[in-house]
Amino acid sequence: MRVINFQKVVFSLLLLATTAILGCGSNSETAKTPPTKNSQPSTTVSPPSSPVANKTDSIKFKQEGGGEAFELKSRPDGAKLVDKTDQELAKFNLDDRQKIKIKDSKDQVLGYVVTKNGDWKLENAEQKQELFILRHQPDGDYKLEDGSNQEIYRIKVRDYGLEIESPSKKSLYKVKIKDGKTSLRNASDRTVIYTKSQITPIAIACFGFDVLSKEQKAALAYAVNRSGGK
């Protein structure tokens, strides 16, 4: 008859139990090990978009029939006005976020456009005199006034765009938006200039302000378009 060695059996059972406990501990440690950096999902933070950049792209203006008229070309420090042959007519330098310096083709300072409290002021070269003020009205319309606050033009919001009127309500120009084009039209409804570029209606209306010089018109249009017409 075979005799069971109880000491050997107890030893074997203890050995098996110890091995099982150690194995569980090892699995537990493995479960607690934090994932490596490579296993974590990566997040890419995009730089904030610049609203100024979206509003200062170059804008090409054409005449009726499709011929080139002029262009407002974007520059790192502002913009410049060039004719259809790419000849520089004027430069508009950003002095700060609220002020644009107007220079002619010979780099002479002609004046400034200052944006303040929702208005755009054309000032002389010494910045001692307000020449013209484009005011945004609470009802959405606009007014162009001289330095003495005398009304020169009323710019009324219409379902087709804008209408430029004299103080006596005589229609002078219209801004119409149709088929991807924004056009400035005269009193006979003939196209003066148009563009397919991104532009606010009040910005192109500035080219219908006949009391302004071509440099002032373009500088005001540039300033208004940068601020989105508000």
What's the confidence (pLDDT) of residue 12?
A: 52
Residue 89 is assigned to a structural domain of this protein:
yes
**What is the model's pLDDT at position 148?**
95
What is the pLDDT at residue 2?
Answer: 46
Give the pTM.
Answer: 0.75
Average confidence (pLDDT) per 10 residues, the chain, 230 residues: 46 48 45 44 32 61 94 95 97 90 96 94 97 96 97 97 97 96 97 96 98 98 91
Whether 113 is in a domain gets the answer: yes
In a domain, residue 81? The reply is yes
In a domain, 12, yes or no: no
Q: What is the 3 state secondary structure string of 162-215?
A: EEEECCCCCEEEEEEEECCEEEEEECCCCEEEEECCCCCHHHHHHHHCCCCCHH
In this structure, how many other beta carbons lie within 10 angstroms of the beta carbon of residue 171? 13
Other Cβ atoms closer than 10 A to 210: 11
* 120 belongs to a structural domain: yes
CATH code at position 70? 2.40.160
Residue 35 falls inside a structural domain: no
How many C-beta atoms lie closer than 10 Å to residue 89's C-beta?
A: 15
For the chain, how many structural domains are there in total? 1
pLDDT of residue 161: 97
Tell me, yes or no, whether 18 lies in a domain: no
What is the residue range of 118's domain? 56-226
Q: Name the token pair of 26.
A: 């090892």
